[in-house]
């Protein structure tokens, strides 16, 4: 893997946003949280990201031995693919994540097969490297309402399905930081305009469920977080101000998918991809007229493709339910 200098953004006295460089700079974040001498990583990118995270610790004059927790919001590989590798490098750490997802980090074989089906073998190996199993004795399964002690602080765990059925968010009650994984969608700084974000829902395969996602957003906003810490990408202040944008994006994805539902299955993913691109780019032109369509397409290319795949799976699941 090519060596690079990890970009570090300090959010407050106890929190840093680290760029994992997965896919491209500014695409996939990891958060480092500190209390006293203890540290927690929230999300960790892929195995290819771990050397950069360890270099970030070194640049902050911190040690891997101080890491008490590795906390993936869910086990999609851009969030948890490096969990086993990072756990091996942090001898005092415990890996803790949603109880439905944890078995796939202890035995990542099905996770690897599923990701290869989505990305293809060559892209999988280039992006994610090798999935290292996490020793079960060093793992903890989390359920809604669980808390994690970090020094004398507490991180709360909130079950937030919708993007995935094994998705959870972490809430730091000291500073109001809510680590949202993918449940608050994605937002890239390049798409911001006039200090307003452009939020896009992430309907990645395989468990998109818009109804329970909406319920999860209600529960998240009931915490009145000061800041949403998105994995894709970075901190978003006063998320209650922007929640409407994410709900609109969710509704747009559902509308496009349901319009496609009566069409033949053959060619469905391609048609969904085209419809999503047309609608998202049209909305983005209204939001930020300064960014070119080609630049926007390049920034969102990976996400639009994954969203189309996820909507295709969702429609197939709806069809099975009717049968």
Tens digits of pLDDT across the chain (323 residues): 445 667 899 999 999 999 999 888 999 999 999 999 999 999 999 999 999 999 999 999 999 999 999 999 999 999 999 999 999 999 999 999 999 999 999 999 888 887 787 778 888 888 888 899 999 999 999 999 999 999 989 999 999 999 999 999 999 999 999 999 999 999 999 999 999 999 999 999 889 999 999 999 999 999 999 999 999 999 999 999 999 999 999 999 999 999 999 999 999 999 999 999 999 999 999 999 999 999 999 999 989 999 999 999 999 999 887 87
Question: What does the pLDDT read at residue 183?
Answer: 97
Write out the E strands in the chain: 8-12, 15-19, 29-35, 38-42, 67-71, 94-98, 139-142, 147-150, 153-159, 168-172, 177-181, 227-230, 234-237
Q: How many angstroms separate the CA atoms of 75 and 97, rounded? A: 8
Q: Which two tokens stand for residue 82?
A: 């490096």
What strands lie across the sheet with 139-142, from one edge to the other? Answer: 8-12, 15-19, 29-35, 38-42, 67-71, 94-98, 139-142
Q: Which two tokens stand for residue 70?
A: 């590795």
Rg for the chain, CA atoms, rounded: 19
Contacts of 280 (CB under 8 A, 6+ apart): 200, 252, 300, 304
DSSP state for residue 291 in the 8-state scheme? S
Instruction: From the options 3.30.870.10, 3.60.15.10, 1.10.287.180, 3.30.70.260, give the CATH code of 8-245.
Output: 3.60.15.10
Q: Which two tokens stand for residue 178?
A: 């809510």
Q: Which two tokens stand for residue 315?
A: 């429609």
Please indicate, yes or no, whether the overall pTM of this predicted structure exceeds 0.85: yes
Question: What does the pLDDT read at residue 3?
Answer: 53
């Amino acid at each position: 893997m090519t060596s690079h200098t990890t970009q570090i953004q300090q959010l407050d006295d106890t929190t840093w946003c680290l760029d994992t460089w997965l896919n491209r700079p500014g695409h996939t974040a990891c958060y480092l949280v500190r209390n006293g001498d203890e540290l927690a990583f929230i999300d960790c990118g892929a195995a290819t990201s771990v050397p950069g995270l360890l270099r970030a610790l070194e640049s902050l004059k911190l040690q891997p031995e101080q890491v008490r927790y590795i906390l993936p919001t869910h086990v999609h590989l851009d969030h948890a693919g490096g969990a086993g590798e990072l756990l091996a490098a942090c001898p005092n750490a415990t890996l803790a994540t949603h109880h439905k997802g944890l078995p796939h980090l202890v035995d990542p074989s099905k996770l690897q097969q599923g990701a290869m089906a989505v990305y293809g073998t060559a892209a999988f190996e280039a992006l994610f490297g090798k999935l290292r199993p996490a020793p079960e004795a060093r793992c903890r399964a989390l359920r809604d309402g669980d808390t994690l002690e970090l020094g004398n602080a507490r991180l709360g765990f909130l079950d937030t399905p919708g993007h995935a059925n094994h998705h959870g968010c972490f809430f730091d009650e000291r500073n109001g930081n809510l680590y949202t994984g993918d449940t608050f969608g994605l937002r890239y700084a390049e798409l911001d305009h006039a200090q307003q974000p452009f939020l896009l829902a992430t309907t990645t395969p395989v468990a998109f469920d818009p109804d329970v996602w909406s319920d999860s957003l209600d529960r998240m906003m009931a915490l009145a977080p000061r800041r949403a810490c998105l994995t894709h990408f970075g901190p978003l202040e006063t998320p209650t101000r922007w929640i409407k944008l994410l709900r609109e994006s969710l509704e747009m994805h559902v509308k496009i998918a349901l319009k496609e539902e009566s069409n033949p299955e053959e060619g469905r993913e391609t048609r969904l991809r085209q419809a999503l691109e047309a609608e998202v780019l049209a909305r983005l032109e209204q939001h930020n007229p300064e960014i070119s369509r080609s630049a926007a397409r390049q920034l969102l290319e990976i996400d639009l493709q994954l969203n189309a795949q996820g909507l295709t799976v969702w429609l197939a699941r709806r069809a099975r339910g009717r049968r």
